[in-house]
Chains A and B, each alone.
Chain A
Amino acid sequence: MTRLDATKRLTAQLDKEPVIASLGHPAYDLFAAGDRPENFYTWGSMGLASSMGLGLAMARPDLRVFVLDGDGSLLMNLGSLATIGWTRAENLVLIVWDNGEYGTTGGQDTATRHGADLEAVARAMGMTTAVTVRTAAEFHAAVARAKSTPGPWTIVAKVEESVPTVKPPLDYVMIKQRFMAAIGTRDA
């Protein structure tokens, strides 16, 4: 299962749920899988996708919030898992594309290729609903459970790197404004 395949499978399972994508390849593949106003493509702030997802999940308990992170990005902000574990945001679904490499920067190894276990970290931080999936069928089943049962969910999806060919829009304010409109946020 490549990351792009998995991303397409995910979006096929979604309705109007917001999705916040980490910068680089996770965001590129989310755009390639089909642009939708409920997608928030970050263009920087490596490591903060899960934090932003937590903030949105706390602000909008009526929504199920999906985050697409990378293994390298999550390793940069493991403290986020502790905060998510503490706050018990039941409506947060953190999907970690774990390809064992820094795909956006040229394929350097991440620590997950050398033994780091992100599912175990998530569990240790208080997320009992954490799974690792390796096949399309397992991923589909995990997303279905995460959509319908309380989290916070961590789905570590072992994927192969796929080289993106398209990128999301560079108009950051437009991305934000249409996202907020799509999820029904009144101007704060």
Chain B
Amino acid sequence: MASTSARATAWASAVCAGVHAAGSRHVVYVPDNPLSHVLRALRDDYPDITTTIATREEEAFGIAAGLFVGGVRPTVMLQSSGLGNSINALTSLLVPFKIPVLIVISMRGDAGEWNAAQVPMGRAVRPILESIGVPHVTAESPETTAESVRCVGDNAFETRLPAACLLPRRLTVPGA
């Protein structure tokens, strides 16, 4: 059972490893079900990473902006539905002031989705990110996820822009 469980959440450990390798030591988040595995792995395996729960995704980006100007590389984790709550923070604070954040987005609305309320935003995530100038990559497998997250983080912190790594449901809920 333990090995099954470990395999099922290998992607979550890989996300944590990528965040850590990018030098980020503070994760601000609004939780969802897949991200709960990431947060558990952070708590268990990365005591040097601080976590803060925000009440809303936009607030999380505001907190992240303050962390960055204070010298901490921030990560924001959210579900794709929360990107809609984040756009003003991204477009009027982080992008114009060139404040970088590593963004990890747990995708809903893609392959395997059962809830129609998640589908329009899920479909819109990539076009929205592209239209507001936030680069994104999609993690493809547990084996490549750590590297994908780290590369996105490096890209964000080197270029001083927010950048996003998307976690598709085929990764986070295999077999869904």
* Chain A residues within CB distance 8 Å of chain B: 20, 40, 42-60, 63, 77, 79-80, 82-83, 86-87, 172-173, 175-176, 179-180, 183, 185-186, 188
| B92 lies within 8 A of A43 (CB) | yes
Q: How far is the CB of B80 from chain A (nearest CB, A)?
A: 20
Interface size class of B (residues with CB under 8 A): 35 or more
Q: How far is the CB of B74 from chain A (nearest CB, A)?
A: 7
| B157 lies within 8 A of A57 (CB) | no
Chain B contacts for A58, CB-based, 8 A:
26, 50, 52, 63, 66-67, 70, 72
Residues of B34-69 at the interface with A, using a CB-CB cut-off of 8 Å, are 50, 52-56, 58-69
Q: How far is the CB of A168 from chain B (nearest CB, A)?
A: 13
Q: Per-position contact with A for B89-120: 1 when CB-CB < 8 Å, else 0? A: 10111001111000000000000000000000
Q: How far is the CB of B117 from chain A (nearest CB, A)?
A: 22
B71 closest partner in A (C-beta): A185
Q: How far is the CB of B2 from chain A (nearest CB, A)?
A: 33
Chain A contacts for B96, CB-based, 8 A:
43-44, 172
CA distance A87 to B55 in the complex (A): 12
Chain A contacts for B72, CB-based, 8 A:
58-59, 188
Chain B contacts for A46, CB-based, 8 A:
88
With contact pairs A55-B67, A175-B97 given, residues A79 and B92 touching in the complex (Cβ less than 8 Å): no
User: DSSP class of A's interface residues: helix, strand, loop or mixed?
Assistant: helix
29 contacts between A and B (CB under 8 A): A40-B69, A45-B62, A45-B89, A48-B62, A51-B54, A51-B65, A51-B66, A52-B62, A52-B69, A54-B62, A55-B67, A55-B68, A58-B72, A59-B72, A63-B70, A80-B55, A82-B55, A83-B52, A83-B55, A83-B59, A87-B52, A172-B98, A175-B97, A176-B98, A176-B99, A183-B70, A185-B69, A185-B70, A186-B71
Q: How far is the CB of A50 from chain B (nearest CB, A)?
A: 8
Determine if B136 is an interface residue (Cβ-Cβ < 8 Å): no
Determine if B73 is an interface residue (Cβ-Cβ < 8 Å): yes
